[in-house]
Amino acid sequence: MNIEAKLGLDVFKIDKERHITIDVEVCNRVCTDKACLYVCPAHLYEIDDQGNNTVNFEGCLECGTCLISCDHQALDWHYPRGEYGVQYRMG
Amino acid sequence: MEKVDCIIVGGGLAGLSAAYGLASEGLEVMVVERGDYSGAKNVTGGRLYLSPIRDIYPELWESAPFERPVTRELVTLMGDGASTTIELASDRFATAPHQSYTVLRARLDQWLADQVMEKGGMVITKNRVDEILMEGDKVIGIRAGGDDIGADVTIIAEGVLGLLSSKVGLREQPTARDHALGYKEILELPSSVIQDRWHLNEGEGAAHLFMGEVTKGMMGGGFLYTNKDSISLGIVVGMEAMRERTEKVESHTLLDAFKELPHIRPLVEGGTLVEYSAHAIPEGGIAKVPKLFGDGYLMVGDAAGLALNALLTVRGMDFAIASGFYAARAVADAKNRGDCSAAGLAQYEQSLRSSFVLKDLETAKEIPHIMENPRLFTHYPQAVSGLLEKLYTIGPHPSQKLSSTVIGGVRKDFMNARTLKELLAMRKI
Amino acid sequence: MDIVVSVKTNLDLQMIRIKNREPVLEAIPYKTGDLDKNAVEAALQLRDAVGESKVIVLTVAESNRKVRETIKEVLAMGADEAVLIVDPALESTDQAGVARTLAAALQKIGSYDLVLFGEGSSDDYSGQVGPRVAELLGVPQIGYARQITAGGAGVLVERSMDEYIETLEAPLPAVLTVVSEINEPRIPSLMNIMKAGKKPTEEWSLADLGLDPAAVASSCETLSNLAEEQDRKHIMLEGGAAEQAAGLVNALLKEGIVGR
């Protein structure tokens, strides 16, 4: 089962407001590692056609691994508001 | 600003444990939890070691929604193409009172929240705390949804990331070196299949850890816990280790590769995947435990880095519950004396120091350094399995004497300066 | 003006998963009906506009535990009192049984000028309970309210119809059901949630209302509750982007998904 299908099994209550914002400037200018691309267990980060880093925040498991692994403070990352985000049924 | 006796930031095990203690003492307590219910944002591997905390709230555990008591312990050292499993079936572990239980957080935390409410504590879900309010060095309350609420004491149980407390300087931001990523799948299997597959009596459970190839040699390991009618199968991998590896691995692919291994496939066969979850884990040990209290606040659970990965035993929830318990006692005493300053709350750290929480972390203080050695996850699992594979091999040529094989293997893989030095260092753990 | 708002607690449908085509209903969290919160908000606004009024929330359920959070939530929003009708017999009731229970409860409450409902519940969405209660009480009813103003003979109500808006007035007491566009329900503050538990709450059983469990027994029997078997259409669109886009529009039109 691919990662998208796995995420499809979880309950996500999706906010209109994003809870992760990428400072693409920083990614492009100073980051050579792009750890977010491979550390995220939900595989949410992608480089788009324009070569910019993007994130599908809707499938976020809220582990914070991207935030901790980013050395350049390129992420504005906070928890989703109450009533939103992943809701684990088992945990 | 409206005020309550005590605000608890986060309704996980640490926060709820504190709330239960305070509510039992008749204090006015408000737990603010961002999930739809307690446990909605929590993940465990998991197993809860009950032995260290059984006497804390002894009346509670009888009704706790545990999955299975762990009666069989397995560890597998995974080399490349060969792995060695050690299995401990202990009569003592199989006899009540059981020392540890597999658990699922959505069930366990909701149950504990219910117990808090029965004691008159208030657990408010679906609300995120946005800020910890400070007046100088003193924590005076919280801001949530645009409202400011004051408290004599704020117990910070916000979890591993410490987003709110690091923002106001009560702790450092988490670093990759001191944190691991844990993630897992829950696979449903009929209870009878679980018992057959892991050789368990009715209701008993197994815990299985894996080291080596499972993380492609990166710091961490695999785990498998049997629940009532599902298994939790997952990986823990050091965040720094993922970044240091020359050939990067997308974290989620490790679990797929793990499940595909020939000796794992039959274990997960027929399981229906029902949930995929992930969480960060504090692994910095005692060196990274922040200041535990100050004017108007206490830090508990993962937010305070109270977790311990000792390779064969991985703990956090027992530390969380114990720290919540001691926090509640300290707050109740401070309220009685009318002194919620740092001095008034200092008892909290003293009781953690004289309990297993900080004692066990102190005892294990060298473990984080030892675990930073990648050879623990590459060389050793390979060497052990390689040697055993040789012993079990009958080839077309005449065999060596058993003793020569052992001596040769040990000499090659263990009797060199580097390994001896490492083994010597391991005495410290 | 005494305003009674009926609220319903549903399972949080988003949390239900399907196993062997059947919904797993164990340990599913509860949730307050979405439109019921609009009804509460409408009542609060009306109360504050008219003055000298109070808002009573009324709910029926098989257990106190089920509705505990809902009651806390609507009291925290600002309702003044709560009346809970709790009885194990309500476990297997239907819309008619709920309506009978509510009507009896309203008669016991005695003084009410307006009774508000959401136009349908977040789970069954039958839209029956409001109108049934009005019939049982023999009072006027107006459905699909998008605006309620006190005045005229009692209340002035704008109804949201598909193609037009109708304005009606009704004498009091009256039963109204509201649509979501009527307002944006307020989110209660933490302090109000803390204090909600201290507001007056009454709990009555069916016997307290003089109702026999048989009076609320469901007249329907659930024979099967299986998830629909979904089959993909397997429509492959060929050609360039423009052709595929045209093909997609045609396919959606044909399925009646767009352009109704």
Where a domain ends, among B300, B319, B354? Answer: B354
Quote the minimal CA–CA distance from A25 to chain B in Å. 21
Interchain pair C191, B124: CB under 8 A? no
Averaged pLDDT, C223-240: 84
pLDDT at B413 over 90: no
pLDDT of residue C226: 83
Give me the CATH number covering residue B183.
3.30.9.90
Instruction: Please state, in angstroms and rounded to a whole number, the distance separating the CA atoms of residues B163 and B130.
Output: 10
> In this structure, is residue A24 part of a structural domain?
yes
Q: Phi and psi for B316 in degrees, rounded to 5? A: -170, -45
Residue B319 and residue B218 in one domain:
no
Averaged pLDDT, B382-411: 85
Give contacts of C15 with chain A, Cβ < 8 Å: 11, 87, 89
To test the contact with chain A by mutation, choose from B31, B218, B275, B283 the residue with the greatest count of A C-beta atoms within 10 A, namely B275
Short-list B308, B312, B244, CA closest to B73: B312
Interchain pair A89, B106: CB under 8 A? yes
- In terms of CA atoms, which chain A residue is nearest residue C17? A9
Quote the minimal CA–CA distance from C166 to chain A in Å. 33
> In this structure, is residue B191 part of a structural domain?
yes
Query: Using CB atoms and an 8 Å cut-off, which of residues 259-298 of chain B contact chain A?
Result: 273-280
Q: Which domain holds residue A66?
A: 3-85
Query: Using CB atoms and an 8 Å cut-off, which of residues 116-135 of chain B contact chain A?
Result: 125-128
Averaged pLDDT, C241-254: 92
Residue B227 and residue B343 in one domain:
no
pLDDT of residue B132: 98
Give contacts of A87 with chain B, Cβ < 8 Å: 35-37, 40-41
Residue B294 and residue B213 in one domain:
no
Complex ipTM, two decimals? Answer: 0.97
Neighbours of chain B (3+ CB pairs under 8 A): A, C
3-state helix, strand, coil in chain A (%, to 5): 25, 20, 55
Is residue B48 within 8 Å of residue B108, measured between CB atoms? yes
The pLDDT-based confidence of B143 (bands split at 50, 70, 90) is: very high
Is residue C161 within 8 Å of residue C126, measured between CB atoms? no
Write down the residue that tokens 């003793």 correspond to. Answer: B403
Write down the residue that tokens 């049997």 correspond to. Answer: B226
pLDDT at C259 over 80: no
pLDDT of residue A82: 95
pLDDT at B154 over 70: yes
pLDDT at C208 over 90: yes
* pLDDT over 90, % of chain B: 81
pLDDT at C196 over 80: yes
Handedness of CA A14, A17, A18, A19 (dihedral sign): negative
pLDDT of residue B415: 78
Q: Which amino acid, residue A52?
A: N
Give me the CATH number covering residue B330.
3.50.50.60
Q: Which domain holds residue B268?
A: 177-282
Residue in A9, A42, A69 nearest the CB of B278: A42
pLDDT of residue C232: 81
Quote the minimal CA–CA distance from C31 to chain A in Å. 11
Q: Is A87 on the interface with C (CB under 8 A)?
A: yes
Residue B33 and residue B148 in one domain:
yes
Name the residue with higher pLDDT: B257 or B408.
Answer: B257
pLDDT of residue C139: 97
What is the Rg, in whole angstroms, of the alpha carbon atoms belonging to chain A?
13
How many distinct helices (H) and strands (E) make up chain C?
7, 13
> In this structure, is residue B256 part of a structural domain?
yes
> In this structure, is residue A42 part of a structural domain?
yes
Cα dihedral: A38, A43, A45, A48 (round 10): 100
Residue B6 and residue B146 in one domain:
yes
pLDDT of residue B244: 94
Total domains in chain A come to 1
pLDDT at B424 over 80: no
The pLDDT-based confidence of C260 (bands split at 50, 70, 90) is: low
Instruction: Please state, in angstroms and rounded to a whole number, the distance separating the CA atoms of residues B152 and B139.
Output: 9
How many other CB atoms are there within 10 angstroms of residue C246's CB atom? 13
Query: Using CB atoms and an 8 Å cut-off, which of residues 40-99 of chain B contact chain A?
Result: 40-44
Residues in contact with B285: Cβ distance below 8 Å, sequence separation at least 6, in sequence order = B305, B308, B361, B364, B365, B367, B368
pTM of this prediction exceeds 0.90: yes
pLDDT of residue C80: 98
> In this structure, is residue B400 part of a structural domain?
yes
Give contacts of B146 with chain C, Cβ < 8 Å: 189
Is residue B133 within 8 Å of residue B165, measured between CB atoms? no
Total domains in chain B come to 3
Quote the minimal CA–CA distance from B125 to chain C in Å. 10
pLDDT at C152 over 80: no
The length of chain A in residues reads 91
Give me the CATH number covering residue A17.
3.30.70.20
- For B13-42, write each residue's pLDDT tens digit: 999 999 999 999 999 999 999 999 999 999
Give contacts of C197 with chain B, Cβ < 8 Å: 122
Neighbours of chain C (3+ CB pairs under 8 A): A, B
> In this structure, is residue B85 part of a structural domain?
no
pLDDT at C69 over 70: yes
Interchain pair B124, C194: CB under 8 A? yes
How many other CB atoms are there within 10 angstroms of residue B111's CB atom? 17
Residue B206 and residue B331 in one domain:
no
Least confident window among B57-71, B270-284, B337-351, C227-241? C227-241
Interchain pair A91, B43: CB under 8 A? yes
pLDDT at C229 over 90: no
The pLDDT-based confidence of B171 (bands split at 50, 70, 90) is: very high
- For B354-375, write each residue's pLDDT tens digit: 999 999 999 999 888 888 888 8
Residue B266 and residue B215 in one domain:
yes
Give contacts of C17 with chain B, Cβ < 8 Å: 274
> In this structure, is residue A64 part of a structural domain?
yes
Averaged pLDDT, C71-89: 97
> In this structure, is residue B96 part of a structural domain?
no
Least confident window among B83-92, B289-298, C97-106, C135-144? B83-92
What tokens were used for B115? 């117990």
Where a domain ends, among B251, B282, B313? Answer: B282
Query: Using CB atoms and an 8 Å cut-off, which of residues 12-41 of chain A contact chain C?
Result: 13
To test the contact with chain C by mutation, choose from B122, B148, B227, B229 the residue with the greatest count of C C-beta atoms within 10 A, namely B122
Residue B57 and residue B143 in one domain:
yes
> In this structure, is residue B82 part of a structural domain?
no
> In this structure, is residue A53 part of a structural domain?
yes
Residue B197 and residue B262 in one domain:
yes
pLDDT of residue C244: 93
- For B187-234, write each residue's pLDDT tens digit: 999 999 999 999 999 999 999 999 999 999 899 999 999 999 999 999
Q: Is B122 on the interface with C (CB under 8 A)?
A: yes
Instruction: Please state, in angstroms and rounded to a whole number, the distance separating the CA atoms of residues C47 and C155.
Output: 13
DSSP secondary structure code for residue B217 in this structure: T
Instruction: Please state, in angstroms and rounded to a whole number, the distance separating the CA atoms of residues B202 and B250.
Output: 38
> In this structure, is residue B162 part of a structural domain?
yes
Instruction: Please state, in angstroms and rounded to a whole number, the distance separating the CA atoms of residues B305 and B368.
Output: 13
Instruction: Please state, in angstroms and rounded to a whole number, the distance separating the CA atoms of residues A47 and A49.
Output: 7
What is the Rg, in whole angstroms, of the alpha carbon atoms belonging to chain C?
21
Tens place of pLDDT per residue across chain A (91 aa): 899 999 999 999 999 999 999 999 999 999 999 999 999 999 999 999 999 999 999 999 999 999 999 999 999 999 999 999 999 999 9
Q: Mind listing the domains of chain C with CATH numbers?
A: 2-216 (3.40.50.620), 230-260 (no CATH)
> In this structure, is residue B360 part of a structural domain?
no
Query: Using CB atoms and an 8 Å cut-off, which of residues 172-211 of chain B contact chain C?
Result: 188
Residue B160 and residue B130 in one domain:
yes
Is residue C92 within 8 Å of residue C218, measured between CB atoms? yes
> In this structure, is residue A90 part of a structural domain?
no
